Amino acid sequence: MQTRPNLRRQGMSDQSLHCLWCGSSDSEALFPFSDIFGDSWLLHRCRQCECRFLDPIPDAIQLSRAYGQDYYGEGEKKFEGIFEKVISGFRKRRAAKVSRIAGRKGRILDLGCGNGEFLLHIAQKGDFELHGIELDGNSARRTAQHSEISLQVKPLAKGDYPENHFGVITLFHVFEHLANPAETIGIISNILEKDGILVMSFPNIASLQAKWFKGNWLHLDPPRHLFFLPPKAFEKQMKQFGFEVKRRHWSSFEQNPFGFQQSLLNTISPKREILFECMKGNKDYLKDVSKFRLFIHRAFFYCSFPVFVVCDAIGSLFHSNASVLYVLQKSGEPQNISTS
């Protein structure tokens, strides 16, 4: 994922708090919550732009731990067995959709490209020149094995690519990891060609799941998810960067049903994300979890998944799902950016 530690450190007073999106110091604390490593955080709401952001911003040690081998997976794949196959199927479906939107050709950049599988799938759907960005780690090493992908192993920065270079840029659940999100969107706007397509998906902080589960919501994913823009605020901000919203997709079998299940389990378990870490094979995190509890969590997952698929379908009618995917088009140049 595309992220780097910011400079704000734990223990500093509220006067040093600045919104991660717009930089305003006018914010309110919403609720506290903990991560799987035992650290505590506050979620703040910016009164200027409605961004929710993590307080404090995690330091380098916390981020390095959060993006360690347990995050990327230790073996050839991030997830265990059948889960990786299912997620691979989602990537294939996503590639087919983006290929259609892009007209089945062009130069594409995937920010946070993971193991590169999405790019490899899209190459089979049309005539694409493949570019990926991923931070150093097992995922980047997996992508580097594919010579057809031009890989950058560092965060996106100004000058990395020429202006108007890409026809399509994608960020699938990467936006919320960015340490300098407005700056990154400005760079994306610059390297995307006129009428180019930007596809972004991210957790919906205005969703029913986020409101119901608060600190137990799976997609808070502390300390990796640094900020959240509610969809309405996101659309307003992206307009200022010269983007026009073409489509919104609220339903996601990949993100939403499981988000509901894991968040529910978090509310009744002594530690969060037991099922999710189990899927990633994080044995160290699960060493004090009994086999019986693991069995119950797995049984709940398999038995109740169809129920939550129905919940996702209903939620999409009301635009209240736990994640949202946007298709945006660069229709103009960025205005004088005032993020408030």
Residue 185 CB, shortest distance to Zn ion, in Å, is 14
Of the pair 49, 311, the CB lying nearest Zn ion is at: 49
Q: Closest Cα partner for 244 from 189, 204, 203?
A: 189
Distance CA 161, CA 155 (A): 12
Of the pair 176, 277, the CB lying nearest Zn ion is at: 176
Residue 60 CB, shortest distance to Zn ion, in Å, is 24
49: its two tokens: 């732009």
Residue 2 CB, shortest distance to Zn ion, in Å, is 20
Distance CA 151, CA 159 (A): 16
Of the pair 24, 316, the CB lying nearest Zn ion is at: 24
Residue 182 CB, shortest distance to Zn ion, in Å, is 9
Residue 233 CB, shortest distance to Zn ion, in Å, is 9
Residue with tokens 């090493």: 141
Distance CA 15, CA 18 (A): 8
Distance CA 123, CA 257 (A): 29
Contact (CB, 8 A) for 175 and 107: no
Provide the CB-side half-sphere exposure for 233 (13 A, CA): 21
Of the pair 231, 259, the CB lying nearest Zn ion is at: 231
Distance CA 24, CA 228 (A): 15
Of the pair 19, 63, the CB lying nearest Zn ion is at: 19
Residue 109 CB, shortest distance to Zn ion, in Å, is 27
Residue 17 CB, shortest distance to Zn ion, in Å, is 11
Residue 49 CB, shortest distance to Zn ion, in Å, is 3
CA distances from 118 to 76, 149, 186, 225 (A): 16, 11, 24, 22
Of the pair 45, 78, the CB lying nearest Zn ion is at: 45
Distance CA 18, CA 25 (A): 5
End-to-end CA distance of the chain: 27
Of the pair 123, 210, the CB lying nearest Zn ion is at: 210
Contact (CB, 8 A) for 129 and 63: no
Residue 226 CB, shortest distance to Zn ion, in Å, is 13
Of the pair 228, 258, the CB lying nearest Zn ion is at: 228
Residue 220: CB atoms within 10 A of its CB come to 27
Residues that bind Zn ion (CB under 5 A): 19, 21-22, 24, 46, 48-49, 51
Burial-class residue 136 by CB neighbours within 10 Å (0-12, 13-18, 19+): exposed
Of the pair 46, 168, the CB lying nearest Zn ion is at: 46
Q: Closest Cα partner for 277 from 114, 267, 265, 268?
A: 265
181-191 helix and 231-240 helix, angle to the nearest 10 degrees: 50
